[in-house]
Amino acid sequence: MEAFHSLLSGFGVALQPVNLMWAFLGSVLGTAIGVLPGIGPALTIALLLPVTVKVAPTAAFIMFAGILYGAMYGGSTTSILLNTPGESGSMMTALEGNKMARTGRGAAALATSAIGSFVAGTLATLALTFLAPAIAELAFVFGPADYFALMLLAFTSVSVVLGSSRVRGFIALFLGLALGVVGIDGPSGQARLAFGSPDLLDGIDITVVLVSLFAIGEILYVASRFRSAPPVVNPLAGGSWMTREDWKRSWKPWLRGAAIGFPIGALPAGGTEVPTFLSYTIERRLSRHKEEFGRGAIEGVAGPEAANNSAAAGILVPLLTLGLPTSATAAVLLAAFEGYGLQPGPFLFVNSADLVWGLIASLYVGNLMLLVLNLPLVGLWVRLLLIPRPYLYGGILVFALVGIWGVGTSWMDLLLMFVIGLMGYVMRVYDFPIAPVLIGLILGPTAETQLRRALSIGEGNPAVLLSSPLSVCLIVLALAVLFLPALLRKLRTNA
């Protein structure tokens, strides 16, 4: 009941005209970047970080939430009309949705995806409303050893689940951890790996790393393998909207997708790829129209799209309650919290109740806005795809420069941008996952602090790391995650 009360006051915050304006701005921006190739929600939020320094934190996070959800809506539009999933979470949508669009059912595919996203997003936000305070409550008992074990779990799971190879996932993670130790070491005051550069004493800013990996790496990669043929957009005209039959075939996949997406998104191993894949597999098994799968089955769009959005809300659970990011977007949101001097975790719910509940309430509002923005206006969004690619990528570089030069007008940041950008290129060519770098970079220093705290409590005896049942559980889980890919591969071959 308490959560309900808090939510009501959250709506009081979210429905203020100024905050509605921020939510709208975020939704529009999010949809736009979801449609555009080369820019995702993580990059957008990272680029906006310097701008939002002047904005109140509540307003900024309401906008970020709009971007997070909006990108999901926009991403499904391109998967369906263009067969280019902007992110791994929309891969399954592209599979069936694009086939539907080719046979003149594009409008119905877009509708079931948008309405499914709305239904699942709302249900997941509801779950977040009641689950998050409970988990935050739980987190009060976490000691340093437990936090360290939790970080280990996050490290192993992002390295294993994201990407195709465990070794490359771990290399990405440790590169992030390596970047994270640069700068002055808090407890001892020692400069570590600064190589005599005063600019490196403050450490490497996550904005610099994220923008370099995502924007510069992407520009280099796409430039080197650019396909100059214009993309073929499936026509929307003439297609019929959702029929009675479509509704009947969609509503169950929506609910199942929401139910699958949220818990998996909330796990430290989270992400959106696994739940969308799972949802697709399940819908395919349960469908009475199995023969349509692979040729444009509406269930194959409805389920994964719902799972996708529901997982996006799930990602907010560990982020808000434990300060644990499980995706690149969550990592940059954590950086935003830190930028405002806020520490996500149990105390956030106590000290910044307005912000947390305003944010959660704005998720409901944003979902509704996105439904309205996307259903009737989809033709408008598709026009964004007509931007000539040279100008699109040139523009991305200019905005990346704003983001990086704006951090501290430091020449060292520009050098890092170039070097880490090249690294981003190599990682794409040799298929290294990128998100673990960011998770390592942002969680590494926290993990080190917790490790040192735990060890100083245990007077240097490493056994202290296994002193509480919770930390033992988490470490066992972290080890178990190492064996998850084998299981996933099995699922994949069965599908």
SS3 state of residue 191: strand
Give the separation between CA 487 and CA 57, rounded to whole angstroms: 41
By CB under 8 A, the residues from 43 to 72 that bind other proteins are 50-51, 53-54
Interaction mask 284-303, other proteins, x per CB under 8 A: --------------------
Using rule CB under 8 A, residue 479 touches other proteins: no
Count residues binding other proteins (CB under 8 A): 78
For other proteins, give the closer residue by CB, 45 or 127.
45
By CB under 8 A, the residues from 144 to 183 that bind other proteins are 165, 167-168, 170-171, 174-175, 177-178, 181
Sequence-ordered list of residues with C-beta below 8 angstroms from that of 125, at least 6 positions apart, any chain: 313, 360, 363, 364, 367
Using rule CB under 8 A, residue 414 touches other proteins: yes
CB 390 within 8 A of CB 42: no
Query: What's the closest the beta carbon of residue 79 comes to other proteins, in angstroms?
Result: 10
Where b means 16+ CB within 10 Å and e means fewer, 348-376 reads bbeebeebbbbbbbbbbbbbebbbebbbe
By CB under 8 A, the residues from 384 to 403 that bind other proteins are 388-391, 393-395, 397-399, 401-402
Query: What's the closest the beta carbon of residue 387 comes to other proteins, in angstroms?
Result: 11
By CB under 8 A, the residues from 75 to 104 that bind other proteins are 78, 84, 86
How far from chain centre, in Å, is Cα 82? 22
For other proteins, give the closer residue by CB, 130 or 226.
226
Q: Which of 422, 482, 484, 488 binds other proteins (CB under 8 A)?
A: 422
Give the separation between CA 175 and CA 193, rounded to whole angstroms: 14
Using rule CB under 8 A, residue 351 touches other proteins: no
CB 313 within 8 A of CB 126: no
Query: What's the closest the beta carbon of residue 136 comes to other proteins, in angstroms?
Result: 28
Q: Which of 96, 146, 218, 246 binds other proteins (CB under 8 A)?
A: 218
Residue located via tokens 């007008």: 409
For other proteins, give the closer residue by CB, 193 or 479.
193
Using rule CB under 8 A, residue 216 touches other proteins: yes
How far from chain centre, in Å, is Cα 67? 10
Using rule CB under 8 A, residue 418 touches other proteins: yes
Give the separation between CA 37 and CA 78, rounded to whole angstroms: 9
Q: Which of 225, 288, 483, 493 binds other proteins (CB under 8 A)?
A: 225
Return the half-sphere exposure (C-beta side, CA atoms, 13 A cut-off) of residue 426.
9
